[in-house]
Every structure is written in C-alpha cells, then in structure tokens.
Structure 1
Amino acid sequence: MKLIAYFIILSTVLCSCAKQVKDTKPETKPNLLFIFADQYRKASLGFLNEDPVQTPNIDNLAENGVFFSRAVSNHPLCSPYRGMLFTGKYPLANGVIANCNSGRTAYGNYLKKDEVCFSDVLAENGYSAGYVGKWHLDGPEPTLPGETVEWDTWCPPENRHGFSFWHAYGTHGRHNNPYYWTTHAAEGEKLVVNKWSPEHEADVIIDYLKNTEHQRINEKPFALFWSINPPHTPFGEVPEKYKQQFAGKDYKQLLNRDNVKFTTNNDLQRGDKGVETKIDQAPDYFACVNGVDDQIGRVISALKEQGLYENTIIVFTADHGEMLGSQGLMHKNVWFKEAYYIPLIVHFPKTVKSKTEDIMISVPDYMPTMLGLMGLGNQIPAKVEGVDYSNVFFNKAVIRPDKQLYFGSEPSNSSSGARGFRNAQYTFAVVKANGQKYYYLYNDINDPFQMVNIWGNNKDLDEKMEQELNELLFGMNDPWIK
C-alpha cells in the first residue's frame, strides 16, 4: 500500500510539473510604437534648449531612453525617407528617389509590392501591424509632362506590406480637416475629420490600444507606426491654443540660430527659396511642435492606462528637418544641419538603460537595428543595405560607420542633383547644376552653424573629400560618378 501511495504521489507531482511546463509561456515579445513627425528638426527637441519649444513628453522619452545624437536623414524628403525606413535600403536600391507623385510614377518612383519591408517582417513574425497617418509611398496614375500633377492616392490592401490596421492617406496638407482611408474602406470612401490631424490620430491610436473594436489581435504583440504630418507645412493650420503660446512674440527673436537670414541666399545651388514670404510663419512651426508633443503625451498615457507601457518600445524620430530661414533657405532637401539632422530616440527602460549614443546611424539602419532589439535579428531580409547596430543598446562593440550619406536626385535622371556625406568633422556636398559642379564643405567642429564654405582653402583636404565621396558612391553603384 505504501508503494502504491508513493507512486500516486509521484505521479501527481510529475503531472503537476508537466502542467507547469506546458502552461509556461515564452517570454513576451515587445510591442513597438514607432512615431515619426514630418519636417521635425533635431533643434526642436526641447531638452536641447535650441528652438523655443516645450516638449516635455518627448524630453521624458529621451531622458529615460537612448538619444541618438548623430542621426541624419540621408535624403531629407518625405517619400525617400519612408522608402529607406521600410526597406532598409538607400533610394537608388529601393527606387523611391524623390517624393511620390503622378509625374514620377512612370519612372518607378514608388514602393514596390514585392519589397520585403519592416512591417512585412513584423507581420510574418506574429505581430499585429498598424499604420496611422501620412503614407506617401504609392505612385498615383502617371501623368505626362504639362498635365496636372497628382500627389495623393489610395493604397489598396494588397500594397500595405503586412499592415492589417490602416487609418492613413497618401499625402495632403489638410491639418485641420484631414481625410483618411480606413482599413476596409474602398477608394471612394474617404473619412473626412474636422479636427487637427495629430489630435484625431491620437484618438484613433488610443482606441487601437484599448482595442475597443478588435483593431488588433489581443493575443499578439502590436507594431504601430504613426506618421504625424505637422510640423510640415502649412504651419498655420494648428489649434489656437498652441498659437497663443507665441502670441505677440517677434519671429525674428524666436529664430535664434546664428545662421538665420531673412532674405534668400541665391548663392546656393540647392534648397527652397522664398524666405521673405514664409519666414514669418516660424511661430506657427514651433506651435505645431508643442502640439505634436501634447498628442504624443496622450498616447503615452493611454499605454500606461492599458498596462502596455512597460513592454512597448517607443521610437520618436522624423523624416527630415526644416531650414526655417537658416542659410537663407526654407524647408528641406539640403545637407545643412537644420534639414539633415533629425531626432532619434528609442525608449525601452525595461531592457535598455538610458544614454546618449553618438553612433553615426543612417535611416536604412533603423529597420535592422530595431529588428535586432526586438529579438528578430535573424529575420533581417538579405537585401537590406542598412546595418544592425542593436548591440549599441547594450554597450557591446560594433563596427562604427565613419560617414553618413547625403543624397538628392530625380528619378528621371538618377545621376542628377546632389551627393555628399558627413563624417566626424566635416559636412561635404556637391551639386550638379547648369552643367557644372558646385562644392560645399564645412568644418562642423569649428563652424557649428556651417556659415563658412571652406572648399578651395586646402587642396589636399578637397581632394581627400572628393575621393572619399567617389568611393562611397562607387560602392553603391551610383550613376553619379559615371
């Protein structure tokens, strides 16, 4: 009897242990909230004390996360940034060489259906993937030269690269009355909203986190990408409560950078002109920045309320910056810091300790680096050109890049436009225009506001920079050097 009792007890213990093993779940995968604000320059991070902005929520992410102090947008333009972000490739490799519109569609200037994107990898590895906001990666029906150029277009479900939740549009400048296509909407079924777009999108994301209408699969981790249009133009389309923060303040006083000019710099062969008619909108740009931070704060609060905050990687970055009068230019698509430098903050205190990281990271590196952080480093597509630098989160050794590409071109002639790079000391760019080459070289250490072009002052340095650029472009099979 004692022996029988012993076996009964042993059997019970073994069954209990087996049940415990069976019921033990694998370590929970982290969620991902990837936020990128359009035309948000690095100088508008409040904690840097450069622009006159207040960004307490973003500041908190940086204080408790990893701030990449040397992040740049390799092609400071909306569509090319998005192409690099999602494919992990540079523009010549993914085909998104300039902003997507109908005049460029015939040249293949759009995100291809057969690309294996960041979101595809996440969806294939058990994530509920969602996209909210500006997409700007599809090619509208082609138009011929001289015809009206169309910018916006509907993205059919089969072209959404693994995103099962969709609340997005191609591109428009309607911040105060935006429209969207929702997950199951047909092309003719736009949803028009009479609310500031970041606020409406925050509402949508908060509902997504609550999962009130089964927007995602509860049992799966989520990966949500949020592309916020402001502070992109039109700057003036921002709620009055944010404008009031700058009421009565002179834009000339608010623009405190040493390189600001209130008249157009016609000596430069690249960049958006028209400072005289646009520069007075600077207070509204800063108002947009403050408002964007407000809405990000609402979403972060919702993450906490839903118990999702601790297991969610939050990324804040931007597709490019804004010149806002610096160098006598407006907007983007130049090599100067105000357009080229972007925020990049990765917040995941559960796993990653806070620090400032000075690696010279480029946009194609984001996809492999984030996949590495998420435990999916072995799922990085073979054709990705970016590098997995996720070891920097854990202070492990990586082979650090010594330069970052600057690129600007047209899909109709991919050898056109401008090329350059940034290294630890210099920013160098060459522009093809009027059948000539124009050279720009700045010592970023001695001249942090890039006010003096030193090209021509040192022949040996000039030759070295041009040789390094040609080697970089040759390695990327860039037709620029042919």
Structure 2
Amino acid sequence: MKLKILTCLTFVFISIVAVSCKDSKSEAKEEATTEQERPNIIYIMADDLTTQAITAYNDRFKGIADTPNMDRLAKEGMIFQDVLVTNAICGPSRAAILTGDYSHVNGYYKNESGGKFDASQWTFPQQFQKSGYKTSLFGKWHLGSEPKGFDEFKYHASAGQQGHYWDPTYNENGKEVKEKGYATNLTTNFALDWLRKNSQDEKPFLMLLQYKAPHRPWEPDKKYEELWEDQELPYPSTFNDDYAGREKTAGDTDMTMDFFHRRDMKMKTPDDLEGSAKRRWELYGAKRGEVVIPEGMSKEEARKWRYQTFIKDYLATIKSVDDNIGRVLDYLDENGLTENTMIVLTSDQGFYLGDHGFFDKRFIYEESLRMPFIVRYPGTVEAGSENTDLIANIDFAPTLLDVAGIETDKKMQGESFAKALEGKELENWRDGVYYHYYEFPYWHHVQPHYGIRTDRYTLAHFYYNIDEWELYDNRQDPEQLNNLIDDPEYADVVKELKAKLKELMKKYHDDKSLEEFREITDKDFGDIVERKGETVEDIINEKSEK
C-alpha cells in the first residue's frame, strides 16, 4: 500500500515538474518571440528636406528630379499630409523630436545664441536603450552637446556641428576623426557597417540616420554637379510674390533671392585674395544692399539665375540622399529585415524652394511648417495609404515608443498616433497645432511669432518689434497670399481662432507675456560650441552656412 502511494506521489510530482517546465519553456518562448517581434526602427531625417522636392508629394519636379526611393517608401507605406513642426528651425526641431516637448519645455529655442541642448534630460533614444534596443546615430546631430542613449554614434563635428559636405570631420564615440569623401555617402557607409555588425542579433535596433543634405551650402556629389546644366527648372507659382498685406512680415526678411552670396552661387574666388579679404568677397550678397549680379545681366535675369543655381544644387544633393536611402532599402531586402523594420522618413521642417521668393524656413507659412513624413512598416502600415490628421513633431517620440511597446514614466506634451499607422481613427485628437518661433534678427531677419494651424486656417501673431496678426484660409487660398485678418467676413473666425490659440498656450504652459517672449529672443544662451582662437571672420564664415 505504501509502495502504491509512493508511486502515485512520484507520478504526481513528475507531472507537476513536467507541467512547470513546460510552462517555463512556453513563457521563455513567448518572451523570445516578443523580443523578436519588437520592430527594428530606422529613423531617417534629411536636413531641410521639403515636400515640394519629393515626387511622392509634389509634381513640380516630376520627370526632372524624381525621388524614386522616397517614393517607394510612400508606395509601400503611409504618406502623411499634415505633419507640422512646432518651431521651424534645425536645432529646436530636433530637440522637440527627441524630447516630445516644445522649445519652452526642453529649453532649446533657437540656433543663434541658443546654447547647447541639455543632454541631461530625457530623450526617446535613451528610453529605447534602457528597454533592450541596440541604438545608434549617424550623420547630423547639431545640438551642441554630446548625444546620449546610443551604443554607437558618429556625427558631424565641424562648423558648429553643421558639418561639411566634402572630407568631413565626425565625432566617433567621443573622438574626432577626419574622413575622405562625400558626406551623404559616408554617413550611409557608417550606418550600413553598423547594421552588418548588429542587425542579425536577437535584440531589435533603433538607428537614427540623419543626413546633412540638403542643407546650405548645397554642394552636390561630383557626378551630379552638372545634372541640369542646360535646362531651366520650373519656378513656383508664388516666385514673384509682392507681399501685399504682409509687408512687415513676409516682406521684411533676408531670405529672398536677393540674399544669396557669391559662395552660394559657386563663383570662383580671385586667386589673389586670402584671409578676411577672401571671406568678404565670398560672402558678398548676404547683407542688405549687396546683391550678386553677374556682368551683363539685368536685375530680373540675375534673380532667375540665382534661383536656378540654388535649385539645381539643392535638388542634386537630394538626388544623393535618395540614392543612399535606396542602399539602405536594398540592405534590408537582401538580409531579410524588411518585414520587421519600420522606416520613418522625415525632415527637421519644411523649406522654401523659391516659394514666395524665399529660401530657408522659420515661418509658420505652409512650405516651412509642413514636414515630409512617410512610414513603411509591412504588416502594420497598409501600402499606399494616406493620413491627414494634424500631427506635430512633438508626437514622434511617444509614437515610436508606442510602436515598440515601450512604456515610460516621462510625461511628454506630444501624443502617440500609433493607431493611425494601423489605419485606425485617432480618438479625441487635436484640432489645431500650436507654433512658436523665437530667433531674431539672425539668421534671415524673420520676426518672432506664435500661432495656430487648424485643418483649414492659419493664424499668426508677429510680436517682437511689430504687432501684426495674419489669417489665412488655406482651403480658399492654399498659396497664402491673402491676409484676411481685417476681412469682416472672417471676424468670427478670427475670434474663434484667437480663443483656441489662447487655450493651447495655456495647455502647453506657454502663456507668457510678450515682454517675456522678447526676453527669450534677446537672451544669449551661449554659442553652440566653444570658441578657441577663432576670429570674428571665422564665426561669420560659419554662420553664413546656417
């Protein structure tokens, strides 16, 4: 009897152990599967890339300067039509993307005298790293301080972290190294080398691939320097904007076709010039009262010549970006990584390609406010889909974390739109995006302003040393040529939008007085890099490329 009981107990014990082991193995398998299913993420950001230059968005340069690899991402993923920047300038936009917060919260308001990004604060790459992702950064950083949250990084270290197109200096994991070649190709080389070493590991990866191109001074790769040499590229419909009704705002800037300097125009410097005299000659055209007009050209002919030189160089640098995106896509295809890799393609803001007679960004106007944003993620994002929700760059961080299933205690002002990637409706989503630009007078003399952009209207208040309000009905006037602020038919719209704007300023805790806003513009937060033995001309030389 005792033997029978003992046998039964032994059987029960073995059964329990077997079930326990089975459960443990199942849990381990489930954890492993979950780990493997966490998506890889490649976040691609080209500096000053704009929707007008991507043929998936716009036909202006279709058949002339197509972007087949960017278009492929849109065809195989989702194209977003209303992703908006909260402060249209390089460094502050990058800071907002990293932190999920507005400039007044993350402390990085402007490039000029903007100081360094506070690297001690939370950023989404740090959260990915803590959550088991392998992380890397390649290309442009441009925030002054050293990146945190990356297992490896290699970013542009020269010219105040602006970098150079040719033979650039990079900061590789804390050490400066000089490289030979063209920056767009080099940055992709570093990224692919890292993927070869890390992409087949069990851990998922997050890679930030951030190109310097197509930022000024728009230097193409050698093979693309004469791509459209004998061709006149099309002009935007607003090229000859006379700024009627906007004389003190759009009509009072240093970013029109008249402000390209000789270096922008790739003019040959006289051999007998050197030092400060050489720099002054090269930078002629950047100041008011200086206009580069080749001998024998009329003012209008010279204006068109400046545009043609600029737009050809700009688009040629994008040609290289598109080529290199293709290299990344090929690598994913060839190594079985396409299905489980989410790719994001974006910019730090939009850019003017002669629109309103401008180059550069900064304004709340559509061309600089609206960011390209394309996501490909097979199995989650429907191929060829489109999204028209109002999304801000502060939403990127919470969304990427959400897609990766990463939780954080960090409270962000941005919100996740991950459901939109699955084609689902965003419940209780915003009906307006708040915008605030601070930098003045450098660079380009754009008045500080704040405002709101809804799905139909743009309302802005320019406040530094003027007091101008502007209203645009983007449905009736998509080119934003008619300021309707004093139109009696829009009086109720103005009243409603001002109330909504005030609500957003309170919501985001940016409801300061105009005096306090002006103090931010006037404040010198410090240079982005320490100045060691540089002359005033050296600093001006660097700033001319911003």
TM-score, length of structure 1 as denominator length? 0.83
- Please state if 1:423 is matched with 2:454: yes
TM-superposed CA distance for 1:440, in Å, is 1.9
Contact 2:470 2:483 survives alignment (8 Å): yes
- Please state if 1:78 is matched with 2:90: yes
Contact 2:140 2:163 survives alignment (8 Å): no
- Please state if 1:472 is matched with 2:504: yes
Contact 1:166 1:183 survives alignment (8 Å): yes
* Rg comparison, structure with higher value: 2
TM-superposed CA distance for 1:410, in Å, is 4.0
Secondary structure of residue in 2 paired with 1:172 = coil
Match of 1:130 among 121, 130, 136: 136
2:103 partner amino acid: P
Secondary structure of residue in 2 paired with 1:451 = coil
Contact 1:474 1:481 survives alignment (8 Å): no
1:15–1:55 Cα change, 3 Å:
same
Matched residue, 1:195: 181
1:335–1:290 Cα change, 3 Å:
same
Residues 111-170 of structure 1 deviation map (CA, whole Å, 9 limit, x = unaligned): 2233111111101100111111111112xxxxxxxxxxxxxxxx4xxx522111010125
Match of 1:183 among 148, 173, 180: 173
**Identical pairs, percent:** 25
Matched residue, 2:57: 48
Matched residue, 2:108: 96
1:217–1:79 Cα change, 3 Å:
farther
Contact 2:390 2:430 survives alignment (8 Å): yes
Contact 1:70 1:358 survives alignment (8 Å): yes
Distance 1:216 1:160 in 2: 21
Match of 1:166 among 109, 129, 153: 153
Matched residue, 1:229: 212
Distance 2:190 2:430 in 1: 39
2:186 partner amino acid: H
TM-superposed CA distance for 1:259, in Å, is 1.1
Distance 1:125 1:272 in 2: 46
- Please state if 1:448 is matched with 2:478: yes
Contact 2:95 2:103 survives alignment (8 Å): yes
Within 5 A, what are the aligned runs for 1:346-385?
346-354=375-383, 355-376=385-406, 378-379=407-408, 381-382=410-411, 384-385=412-413
1:389–1:128 Cα change, 3 Å:
same
Match of 1:250 among 229, 232, 250: 232
2:139 partner amino acid: G
Distance 2:210 2:437 in 1: 22
Distance 2:314 2:440 in 1: 30
Distance 1:460 1:96 in 2: 35
- Compare 402-411 and 224-233 and name the one that shifted more: 402-411
- Please state if 1:386 is matched with 2:420: no
Distance 1:317 1:430 in 2: 27
Contact 1:264 1:329 survives alignment (8 Å): no
Unaligned runs of 5+ in 1: 139-154
- Please state if 1:31 is matched with 2:44: no
Secondary structure of residue in 1 paired with 2:435 = strand
Residues 34-74 of structure 1 deviation map (CA, whole Å, 9 limit, x = unaligned): 01110011122212233313111111111121211101111
Distance 1:12 1:269 in 2: 77
Matched residue, 1:112: 118
Match of 2:26 among 5, 21, 26: 21
- Compare 463-472 and 198-207 and name the one that shifted more: 463-472
Residues 303-338 of structure 1 deviation map (CA, whole Å, 9 limit, x = unaligned): 222322221111000001211221122211011221
TM-superposed CA distance for 1:285, in Å, is 1.0
Residues 408-459 of structure 1 deviation map (CA, whole Å, 9 limit, x = unaligned): 01499xxx820111111111211124x3311222111111111222221123
Within 5 A, what are the aligned runs for 1:311-350?
311-350=340-379
Unaligned runs of 5+ in 2: 1-6, 261-305, 442-446, 516-546
Contact 2:350 2:369 survives alignment (8 Å): yes
TM-superposed CA distance for 1:191, in Å, is 1.8
Matched residue, 1:208: 194
Match of 1:59 among 61, 71, 76: 71
Matched residue, 2:272: none
- Compare 446-455 and 115-124 and name the one that shifted more: 446-455
Distance 1:279 1:173 in 2: 24
TM-superposed CA distance for 1:396, in Å, is 4.4
- Compare 258-267 and 389-398 and name the one that shifted more: 258-267
1:68–1:49 Cα change, 3 Å:
closer
Matched residue, 1:147: none
Note the aligned Cα RMSD (angstroms). 2.9
Matched residue, 2:431: 402
1:197 partner amino acid: A
TM-score, length of structure 2 as denominator length? 0.74
Contact 2:362 2:368 survives alignment (8 Å): yes
Distance 1:135 1:480 in 2: 32
Distance 1:228 1:385 in 2: 27
Distance 2:434 2:487 in 1: 23
Contact 2:133 2:204 survives alignment (8 Å): yes
Within 5 A, what are the aligned runs for 1:255-266?
255=235, 257-261=236-240
TM-superposed CA distance for 1:202, in Å, is 0.8
2:114 partner amino acid: R
Contact 1:128 1:217 survives alignment (8 Å): no
Distance 1:61 1:129 in 2: 22
Query: Runs (4+) of structure 1 moved beyond 6 Å?
Result: 6-16, 262-266
Match of 1:269 among 236, 249, 258: 249
Matched residue, 2:495: 463
Distance 1:173 1:274 in 2: 24
